[in-house]
């Protein structure tokens, strides 16, 4: 099982952790999320991997320059 981070907007893969022990580690900060935030951000794939949806630097910059994008879950196809 791996923990895979990818951008929720453009789909870019941002990194992968292969160590299952990290999933319960406070180092990732996932334990700091509310239950609702965890449901929005963390997904368990049929492949057994954990998928974490975050925002990459490029999409963060686009959000700052275009606040209307916040209403869209994904604006890059």
Q: Which residue has the tokens 């990818």?
A: 6
36-65 pLDDT per residue, tens: 988 889 898 998 888 999 999 999 998 899
Containing 7, the helix (H) or strand (E) segment is strand 3-7
Please choose, from the candidates 10, 12, 32, the residue with its C-alpha nearest in 3D space to the C-alpha of residue 42.
32
pLDDT digits (tens, 9 = 90+) for 10-37: 899 999 988 766 666 666 777 788 889 8
């Amino acid at each position: 099982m791996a923990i895979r981070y990818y951008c929720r907007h453009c789909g870019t893969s941002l990194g992968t952790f292969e160590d299952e022990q990290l999933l319960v580690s406070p180092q990732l900060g996932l334990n700091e999320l509310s239950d609702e935030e965890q449901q929005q951000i963390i997904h368990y794939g049929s492949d057994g991997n954990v998928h974490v949806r975050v925002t990459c630097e490029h999409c963060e910059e686009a959000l700052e320059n275009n606040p209307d994008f916040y209403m869209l879950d994904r604006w890059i196809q």
